[in-house]
Amino acid sequence: MASKYVYFFGGDKTEGDASMKMSLGGKGANLAEMAKIGIPVPPGFTITCQACSEYRMLGTFPEGVMDEVREKTRMIEEVTGRAFGGIEKPLLLSVRSGAPISMPGMMDTVLNLGLSSKTVEAMMDGGRDGRFVYDSYRRLIQMFGNVVMGIAHDAFESILLQLRREVGAERDIDLTAEHLEELIRRYREKYREKIGEEFPEDPAFQLEQTIRAVFDSWDNQRAVTYRKLNNIPDDLCTAVNVQMMVFGNMAERSGTGVAFTRHPATGEDVFYGEYLMNAQGEDVVAGIRTPQPLNDINRIHDDQQTLEELMPEVYKELEQIRLKLDRHFADMQDLEFTIEEGKLYILQTRSGKRTALAAVKIALDYLDKGMIDEKTALSRIETTFIDQLLHPRIDPATSYSVAAVGLPAAPGAAVGQAVLDAETAERWASGGKKVILVRNETTPEDIGGMNAAQGILTALGGMTSHAALVARGMGKPCIVGCSAIHINLDSRTVKIGEARIKEGDFLTLAVGEKGEVVLGELPLVEAGFDESFIRLLGIADRHRRLRVRANAETVKDTKQAREFGAEGIGLCRTEHMFFEGDRIVAFRRMILAPTERQRRTALDQLLPLQQADFEGIFEVMDGLPVTIRLLDPPLHEFLPHLREEMGEVSQVLGVTVEDLKEKVESLRELNPMLGHRGCRLCITFPEICEMQTRAIIGAAINVKRRGIDVRPEIMVPLVGHVNEFVHLERVIREVADEMMKSSGVELEYLLGTMIEVPRAALTAGEIAARAEFFSFGTNDLTQMGFGFSRDDIGSFLPDYLRKEILPVDPFQELDRDGIGKLVEMACRLGREARPDLKLGICGEHGGDPSSIEFCHRVGLDYVSCSPFRVPIARLAAAQAAIKEQEEK
């Protein structure tokens, strides 16, 4: 049996439904579903992703596809009573991409197919408004020329601008039918000049070429980049939706709009949308004209006219459809509609992009209504949303004057240097600068720059413009439609209200409710939780198996971590404690001591300070485990390296500059990452290990006497050979035993090790025979496993990502195939040797959702991450558990 490549939709002849997303794409499946449940959808058909996939492999259409296209085109003709390429009642078609995963604006679209000089004349004869017909035709020439034939967009735009200048038309809409006739002449001339052929008159040819172009657009550069940024597989492919054109720009009672079935920023169950009269849908999305609110919900100024006021019956029908769609899909929908001479059509519905706040509110609302279960609710909260909820705000204590306001398109606050194009944004950001991207509007070409920026500010566009949608997805603060800014690309300056700034000057975006733009840098503070967020994380906690701990070494961070729901400290880096105040002096004295005795004297000074630190942390973490890592970094990190500094330090320490320099020199290493650090230090200087053990056990004894439930875990770093652990185990146990004996306080404590050296993973069985827990240090494991110095990777990693040698930075997302194999091996060997071995991760991957999923699957007991990533980890752990169950 030959494959079926094309599915019809429209009333009761509809062939597909919402379950067929992988085949029909998100848009096509939802069009079919809408048609099925009686929503007024312009009839059309969807060419499947499989067809695109085979097309990509074959380099040409698979056999039969175009036959099916012709057959389904005839079905549209039947249903509508129009003829494609016909003279009387011509059927015009749109061709749009639609992948299984939404990639807004990344691929190509062509409208008004079926128009030709003949049909245009016929339509005019049939009484259609000349302006409308000519405008449709010039749009076809422009889109087909650009998308299908590759003529630069600017080639047509400059003709349009030139004509407007010639006839004194301020806006496109001011052009008369005659002007447009002239425009078409010039467009066709340009087309002939560029292509060497006349603009094609045959609608079947137009259609076939356009379908081909949309298939090809799957592999255009911006789509490829978008997929890489969003981890969308390249072989998914796009479907193509061919649909009867309906026109929002046909006449006075025509228009187009975009709406959400709920408020996309707050999640409230209200109808939220924008429309433009006498416009095509693209006009709204592209943000070229600023649209009007559908209703009072998002009316900002009194002079705005809502659709509810303008066309109450249409609005009422739309409102009913919004409810039907919202309840039917049980998720907030983002829908596109067109009103053609008073008749409403729904062109698209899809799950709508939303703010983190809205996502949480909406999910909980459906859950409370019994429309979805907890697992579905959790799955709908992207982990990046949490980051977004924890985004910085302007310090409330700050007063500032607002230079301009716009629409609050994506929440948060951002500070950075203004940059006026995406490329500059990327370049400056890669040089370590924080930038705010300031544009008239954004286009898909700007994705890279938006990603690189702290925030985005546009002069044009609405809440559903490209800038707004993409920024919300990225979790970047964004203000759109800020008409008070005027960008001058020649002088690289921006007029903001009354002020004028240069590119490179600082701006602050305070999105809030009002979308405020402020000159200069304002202080930011981290965001907190709201109640629904806390409730959601509570639900997540019921579904996860992985425990979540935090990395912290101060009482402040420990408190923060516990507030965020951390179930212990997974990594307390003791060396951080040595940098404060006088401690660094004692620590340096220890390093410079020529004898063990003098080292011990210096360490004795540090002991009470470090012990007090541990007591503070133990108190906050009452009842929860605290893993303390022994000294890890190489000693030279504690010494000054600059000449000026040395003089000062040598005075404080009472040594000569020469002695100090000599010591610094003697500690210098060619590859410090692989040098004298971690447990290697404690083996050379067991007195350091003794002091730290004394501080930990002493602190634990003290707080236990005060009634605290203390659960210390002592962690030996950088073990590569079991003998290293055994050697230090003896030192630690002896000190601990003696202290417990002399104090009369019995403590339970664990003694374990980091697994961060590949050899430790390979010999994990031997190590687990002695160690009571493993904590994977995946930063170092990645460094050594890949042979990548994290400090030096900048010279080739960008090239590696660009050339697709690596799919992703392995320091951001754990490499499952290689480094993950070491982790798996260590877990297996470790548990074989000690079934109750406690397993955790404390590298930065512990806060990365994909890595957390891996940790879940490999059977770790906990992940540990920075306090601010604890909520993300809680959700990611729940999602990992849910995903695993679903796969079973």
- Of the candidate spans 18-26, 274-282, 416-424, 717-725, the one that interacts with its own copies by CB under 8 A turns out to be 717-725
Q: Among 105, 203, 481, 785, which residue interacts with its own copies (rule: CB under 8 A)? A: 785
- Any contact of residue 786 with its own copies (CB under 8 A)? yes
> Among residues 543 and 663, whose Cβ is nearest to its own copies?
663
- Would you tell me how many other CB atoms lie within 10 Å of the CB of residue 286? 17
- Of the candidate spans 189-197, 548-556, 816-824, 830-838, the one that interacts with its own copies by CB under 8 A turns out to be 816-824
- Would you tell me how many other CB atoms lie within 10 Å of the CB of residue 728? 22
- Any contact of residue 788 with its own copies (CB under 8 A)? yes
Minimal distance, residue 842 CB to its own copies, in Å: 17
Quick check: is 842 catalytic? yes
SS (H, E, C) 839-877: EEECCHHHHCHHHHHHHHHHCCCEEEECHHHHHHHHHHH
Q: Among 780, 844, 848, 853, which residue interacts with its own copies (rule: CB under 8 A)? A: 780
x/- track of binding to its own copies for residues 636-675 (CB under 8 A): ---------------------------------xxxxxxx
The answer to the question of whether 67 is labelled as a binding residue is no
- Any contact of residue 718 with its own copies (CB under 8 A)? yes
Minimal distance, residue 739 CB to its own copies, in Å: 24
> Among residues 349 and 753, whose Cβ is nearest to its own copies?
753
77 to 10, 34, 86, 608: CA distances (angstroms):
12, 20, 10, 87
Minimal distance, residue 830 CB to its own copies, in Å: 15
Q: Which of 52, 482, 842, 855 is catalytic?
A: 842
Find the distance separating the first CA and the last CA of the chain, reported in whole Å: 32
- Any contact of residue 683 with its own copies (CB under 8 A)? yes
Contact 517, 479 (CB under 8 A): yes
> Among residues 89 and 730, whose Cβ is nearest to its own copies?
730
The answer to the question of whether 80 is labelled as a binding residue is no
Q: Compute how many residues bind its own copies; rule: CB under 8 A.
A: 48
Determine the Cα angle at 798 with ends 793 and 804, to 5°: 115
> Among residues 791 and 886, whose Cβ is nearest to its own copies?
791
> Among residues 207 and 755, whose Cβ is nearest to its own copies?
755
> Among residues 333 and 783, whose Cβ is nearest to its own copies?
783
Q: Among 220, 800, 833, 883, which residue interacts with its own copies (rule: CB under 8 A)? A: 800
Contact 426, 555 (CB under 8 A): no
| Residue 356 to residue 528: CA distance in whole angstroms | 13
The answer to the question of whether 289 is labelled as a binding residue is no
Contact 249, 279 (CB under 8 A): yes
Helices 778-786 and 819-833: crossing angle, nearest 10°? 120
Please report where in the chains the tokens 């017909």 appear, as a residue.
Answer: 133
Q: Among 186, 253, 434, 680, which residue interacts with its own copies (rule: CB under 8 A)? A: 680
- Any contact of residue 815 with its own copies (CB under 8 A)? yes
Minimal distance, residue 629 CB to its own copies, in Å: 16
Contact 45, 81 (CB under 8 A): no
Minimal distance, residue 62 CB to its own copies, in Å: 28
Minimal distance, residue 761 CB to its own copies, in Å: 9
Biggest CA–CA distance in the chain, Å, is 106
Contact 64, 115 (CB under 8 A): no
- Any contact of residue 783 with its own copies (CB under 8 A)? yes
Q: Among 313, 498, 746, 791, which residue interacts with its own copies (rule: CB under 8 A)? A: 791
The answer to the question of whether 778 is labelled as a binding residue is yes
- Any contact of residue 799 with its own copies (CB under 8 A)? yes
The answer to the question of whether 779 is labelled as a binding residue is yes
Pick from 132, 872, 161, 870: nearest CA to 550: 870
Determine the Cα angle at 842 with ends 837 and 846, to 5°: 110
The answer to the question of whether 706 is labelled as a binding residue is no
386 to 159, 395, 537, 768: CA distances (angstroms):
47, 20, 10, 36
105: region left, alpha or beta (phi > 0 left; psi from -120 to 50 alpha): left
Pick from 409, 412, 411: nearest CA to 439: 409
Minimal distance, residue 689 CB to its own copies, in Å: 13
Minimal distance, residue 426 CB to its own copies, in Å: 19
Strand order in the sheet with 6-9: 6-9, 44-47, 239-244, 93-98, 109-113
Checking DSSP bridges between strand 393-394 and strand 435-439, what pairing results, if any?
Answer: unpaired
| Residue 580 to residue 416: CA distance in whole angstroms | 30
Contact 374, 543 (CB under 8 A): yes
Interactions with its own copies, residue window 720-759 (CB under 8 A): 720-721, 723-724, 727, 756-759
> Among residues 640 and 720, whose Cβ is nearest to its own copies?
720
| Residue 110 neighbours by CB under 8 Å, 6+ apart | 94, 95, 140, 143, 144, 147, 148, 210, 213, 214
- Of the candidate spans 212-220, 546-554, 556-564, 762-770, the one that interacts with its own copies by CB under 8 A turns out to be 762-770
> Among residues 669 and 737, whose Cβ is nearest to its own copies?
669
Q: Among 821, 859, 884, 885, which residue interacts with its own copies (rule: CB under 8 A)? A: 821
- Any contact of residue 228 with its own copies (CB under 8 A)? no
Q: Which of 391, 466, 845, 856 is catalytic?
A: 466
Q: Among 186, 253, 545, 676, which residue interacts with its own copies (rule: CB under 8 A)? A: 676
> Among residues 401 and 666, whose Cβ is nearest to its own copies?
666
Contact 451, 435 (CB under 8 A): no
- Any contact of residue 762 with its own copies (CB under 8 A)? yes
- Any contact of residue 795 with its own copies (CB under 8 A)? yes
> Among residues 583 and 676, whose Cβ is nearest to its own copies?
676
Contact 482, 463 (CB under 8 A): no
- For residue 674 the two structure tokens come to 């692989």
- Any contact of residue 506 with its own copies (CB under 8 A)? no
| Residue 252 to residue 64: CA distance in whole angstroms | 42
Q: Where are the beta strands (DSSP E) in 315-429?
A: 333-340, 343-351, 393-394, 404-405, 407-410, 413-419
Contact 809, 797 (CB under 8 A): yes
Minimal distance, residue 586 CB to its own copies, in Å: 22
- Of the candidate spans 8-16, 41-49, 575-583, 813-821, the one that interacts with its own copies by CB under 8 A turns out to be 813-821
- Any contact of residue 784 with its own copies (CB under 8 A)? yes
| Residue 679 to residue 774: CA distance in whole angstroms | 15
Minimal distance, residue 726 CB to its own copies, in Å: 8
- Of the candidate spans 270-278, 457-465, 513-521, 791-799, the one that interacts with its own copies by CB under 8 A turns out to be 791-799
Give me the half-sphere count of Cα atoms (radius 13 Å) on the Cβ side of residue 728: 35
The answer to the question of whether 648 is labelled as a binding residue is no
Minimal distance, residue 858 CB to its own copies, in Å: 15
Active site residues: 466, 842
Residues contributing to the annotated binding site for Mg(2+) = 756, 780
Residues contributing to the annotated binding site = 573, 629, 756, 777-780
Q: Which residues bind its own copies (CB under 8 A)?
A: 669-676, 680, 683-684, 718, 720-721, 723-724, 727, 756-759, 762-763, 766, 780, 783-789, 791-792, 795-796, 799-800, 803-806, 815, 817-819, 821-822
